[in-house]
């Protein structure tokens, strides 16, 4: 029996990893898991995990590894993932990456590719301060680059658009520093295993998606 394939999107905040993961998952007919979305949902529901995670998210810091790993494991064990999945925002530290490898082994998945999407800080600031997300379906907009048809309303489902609390200039800079220190070492880790696909994220969404597809074939 062949193992089900797993695709990871990594990169700094605002690199478009969530956007690309959302495009790739339906194409491969597998679910998309976003660790950030799961944590924000936990915060909204004020669950036990949410209560721990809230302050970290608001400050732009990473939640403790054991919390991130538990949330990820619960998600990938879901029956829907049995034919594989696309995940973004996890792993985000070396410790998470090592434990993720073990988790995939145990659950009989094959880590197929890690897309590392690169983008400079100035572009990140432009993108994230203008980003708006739909509260209902998670669709993502940008006030200048891809505005919704009606202000404040999602084109897809009519849901309310909101600005993430961590998408302010100050918190974005913290998230970027956290990324450089804690997540960037994963580039080396996955280069060594031959899984890394380097993607230039400083292009429009369709162009980046073309690169992602090239890296799969």
Residues recognised as catalytic = 17, 92, 131, 164, 175
- What's the rounded Cα separation, in Å, for the pair 183 and 93? 5
> At closest approach, how far in Å is the CB of 56 from ligand AMP?
5
- Compute the least distance from the CB of residue 90 to ligand AMP, in Å: 4
Taken as a whole, the chain contains a residue count of 217
Q: Please report how close the Cβ of residue 63 comes to ligand AMP at its closest, in angstroms.
A: 4
Please give the distance of CA 92 from its chain centroid, rounded to a whole number: 10
**Positions 21 through 50 that interact with ligand AMP (CB under 6 A):** 35-36, 39
Interaxial angle between packed helices 35-44 and 48-59, expressed in degrees from 0 to 180 and rounded to the nearest 10 = 110
Helix axes 17-28, 205-216, angle to 10 degrees: 50
| Total chain residues near ligand AMP (CB under 6 A) | 17
Stretch of residues binding ligand AMP (CB under 6 A), selected from 86-94, 141-149, 188-196, 198-206: 86-94
CA atoms of 166 and 55, how far apart (whole Å) = 11
Residue 99: strand, helix, or coil: helix
Q: Which is nearer to ligand AMP, 114 or 166 (CB)?
A: 166
**Which residue is closest to ligand AMP by CB?**
36
DSSP output for 100-153: HHHHHHHTTEEEEEEEEEE--HHHHHHHHHTEEEETTT--EEETTTB--SSTTB
Minimum CB distance to ligand AMP smaller for 186 or for 196:
186
Position among 96, 111, 131, 190 found at the interface with ligand AMP (CB under 6 A): 96
The helices-and-strands tally (H runs, E runs) of the chain is 9, 8
Q: x/- contact string, 46-75, with ligand AMP (CB under 6 A)?
A: ----------xx--xxxx----x-------
Contact mark string toward ligand AMP, 145..174, x via CB under 6 A: ---------------------x--------
Cβ(85)–Cβ(33) under 8 Å? yes
DSSP 8-state class, residue 83: G
User: Which CB atom, from 62 or from 75, has the smaller least distance to ligand AMP?
Assistant: 62
- Residues contributing to the site for ligand AMP (CB under 6 A): 13, 35-36, 39, 56-57, 60-63, 68, 89-90, 92, 96, 166, 175
């Amino acid at each position: 029996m062949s193992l089900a394939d797993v695709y990871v999107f990594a990169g700094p905040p605002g690199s478009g990893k969530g956007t690309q993961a959302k495009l790739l998952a339906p194409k491969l007919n597998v679910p998309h898991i976003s660790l950030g979305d799961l944590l924000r949902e936990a915060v909204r529901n004020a669950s036990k995990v949410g209560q721990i995670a809230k302050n970290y998210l608001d400050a732009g810091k990473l939640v403790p590894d054991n919390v991130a790993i538990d949330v990820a494991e619960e998600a990938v064990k879901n029956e829907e993932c049995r034919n594989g999945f696309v995940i973004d925002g996890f792993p985000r530290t070396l410790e998470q990456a090592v434990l993720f490898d073990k988790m995939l082994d145990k659950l009989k998945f094959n880590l197929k590719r890690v897309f590392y999407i690169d983008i400079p800080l100035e572009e990140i600031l432009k993108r994230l301060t203008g980003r708006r997300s739909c509260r209902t379906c998670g669709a993502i907009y940008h006030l200048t680059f891809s505005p919704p048809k009606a202000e404040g309303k999602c084109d897809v489902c009519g849901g309310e658009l909101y600005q993430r609390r961590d998408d302010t200039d100050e918190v974005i800079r913290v998230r970027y520093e956290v990324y450089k220190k804690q997540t960037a070492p994963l580039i080396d880790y996955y280069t060594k295993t031959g899984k890394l696909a380097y993607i230039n994220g400083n292009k429009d969404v369709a162009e980046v998606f073309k690169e992602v597809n090239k890296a799969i074939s």
